[in-house]
């Protein structure tokens, strides 16, 4: 009896499959048409609030950073007299210098620690004992001196 039920179920499943296959091309022809013209996408506009009454940050509602004044601090020129070439190495076609414990090759950009804080230096050229660097928007020359 169990075998007969299984055969009946299989036969019903086969008929359903055949019926679905016969109907699907008719349905597919209706749905495969290109969609009607889509409305243009709307552009999002975000306004920066000028005061807490105008709006607030939804992720940090108690933050006041949105309303802080946009004053750019003046960058004071740092004293470069503390920059010292501590050593030099490397082959002649690719020389290296050590300025205040930071190694530079020609074209390198790195931050160097000086007593006033950090300063960003670009190593322009290395010629023998002379190193041309760019710091604070100006070019400077440093000379390697052996300690007595």
Tokens of 10: 């299989």
Tokens of 21: 């296959």
Q: What confidence score (pLDDT) does residue 134 get?
A: 92
57, 49 in Cβ contact below 8 A? no
Q: What confidence score (pLDDT) does residue 148 get?
A: 58
Q: What confidence score (pLDDT) does residue 95 get?
A: 92
Query: What sign does the dihedral 55-56-62-66 (CA atoms) show?
Result: negative
What is the pTM assigned to this prediction? 0.48
Each residue's pLDDT tens digit in the chain (148 positions)? 577 777 667 777 777 666 666 666 555 555 666 667 777 888 888 777 888 888 888 888 888 887 776 555 555 667 788 888 998 898 888 999 999 999 999 999 999 998 888 899 999 999 988 999 998 888 989 988 876 5
DSSP structure string for 27-53 = HHHHHSSPPPPPPPPPPP--PPPSSTT
d(CA 122, CA 99): 11
Q: What confidence score (pLDDT) does residue 145 get?
A: 80
Residue with tokens 């306004």: 47
Q: What confidence score (pLDDT) does residue 41 get?
A: 84
d(CA 89, CA 106): 13
């Amino acid at each position: 009896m169990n075998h007969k039920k299984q055969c009946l179920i299989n036969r019903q499943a086969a008929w359903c499959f055949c019926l679905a296959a016969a109907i699907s091309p008719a349905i597919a022809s209706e749905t495969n048409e290109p969609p009607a013209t889509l409305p243009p996408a709307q552009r999002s506009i975000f306004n920066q609030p000028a005061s807490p009454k105008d709006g607030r940050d939804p992720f940090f509602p108690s933050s006041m950073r949105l309303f802080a004044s946009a004053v750019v601090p003046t960058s004071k020129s740092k004293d470069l007299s503390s920059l010292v070439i501590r050593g030099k190495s490397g082959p002649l076609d690719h020389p290296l210098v050590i300025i205040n414990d930071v190694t530079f090759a020609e074209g390198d950009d790195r931050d160097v620690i000086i007593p006033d804080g950090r300063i960003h230096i670009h190593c322009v050229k290395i010629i023998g004992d002379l190193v041309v660097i760019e710091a604070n928007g100006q070019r400077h020359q440093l000379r390697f001196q052996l300690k007595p």
